[in-house]
Amino acid sequence: MTTTRFAPSPTGDLHLGGALVAVASHTLARASGGALRLRIEDLDPPRIVAGSADRIARDLDWLGVGVDGAIVRQSERRAHYEAAVAALERAGRVYPCDCSRADIARVASAPHEGEETVYPGICRDLNPSRQMKRAPALRLRTQGFITFDDLACGSQRHAVDALGDFVLKRGDGAFAYQLAAAVDDAEMNIDVVVRGRDLLSSTPRQLHLMHLLRYNKTPHYAHVPLVVDALGQRLSKRARGASVRALREAGVSADEVMAWLRGVLGMTQPEDAIAWPTSEAPVPAAWARLARSELT
Q: Which pLDDT value is given to residue 295?
A: 35
What sign does the CA torsion over 175, 176, 179, 184 have?
positive
Whether 3-73+227-295 and 77-224 share one fold: the answer is yes
Residue 20: how many other CB atoms lie within 10 Å: 23
Q: Which pLDDT value is given to residue 100?
A: 85
Q: Cα separation of 173 and 170, whole Å?
A: 5
Taking alpha carbons only, the member of 213, 258, 188 closest to residue 40 is 188
Residue 214 has pLDDT above 90, yes or no: yes
Total count of residues recorded for the chain? 296
Q: Which residue has the higher pLDDT, 74 or 291?
A: 74
Residue ranges of the domains in the chain?
A: 3-73+227-295, 77-224
Q: Which pLDDT value is given to residue 296?
A: 34
- Average pLDDT value for residue range 158-170: 93
Answer whether 156's CB lies under 8 Å from 204's CB: yes
Question: Average per-residue pLDDT in the chain?
Answer: 90
246-275 pLDDT, tens digit each: 899 989 999 999 999 999 999 988 889 999
CATH of domain 3-73+227-295: 3.40.50.620
Q: Cα separation of 225 and 116, whole Å?
A: 18
DSSP string, 151-216: TTTEEEEEEGGGG---EEE-TTSPBPHHHHHHHHHHHTT-SEEEEEGGGTTHHHHHHHHHHHTT-S
Do the strands 281-282 and 167-169 form a parallel or antiparallel pair, or are they unpaired?
unpaired
- Average pLDDT value for residue range 138-150: 96
Q: Cα separation of 85 and 270, whole Å?
A: 42
Q: Which pLDDT value is given to residue 113?
A: 46
Question: 140 pairs with which residues across the strands?
Answer: 94
Residue 118 has pLDDT above 90, yes or no: no
CATH of domain 77-224: 3.40.50.620
State what percent of residues in the chain have pLDDT above 70.
92
User: Across the beta sheet with 35-40, what order do the strands follow?
Assistant: 72-73, 35-40, 3-6, 192-196, 220-224, 145-150, 154-159
Q: Which pLDDT value is given to residue 228?
A: 83
In which band, very low, low, confident or very high, does the pLDDT at 132 lie, cut at 50, 70 and 90?
confident
Q: Burial code of 257-289, b = ≥16 C-beta within 10 A, e = fewer? A: bbebbbebbebeeeeeebebbeebbbbbeebbe
Q: Which pLDDT value is given to residue 6?
A: 98
Q: Cα separation of 184 and 76, whole Å?
A: 12
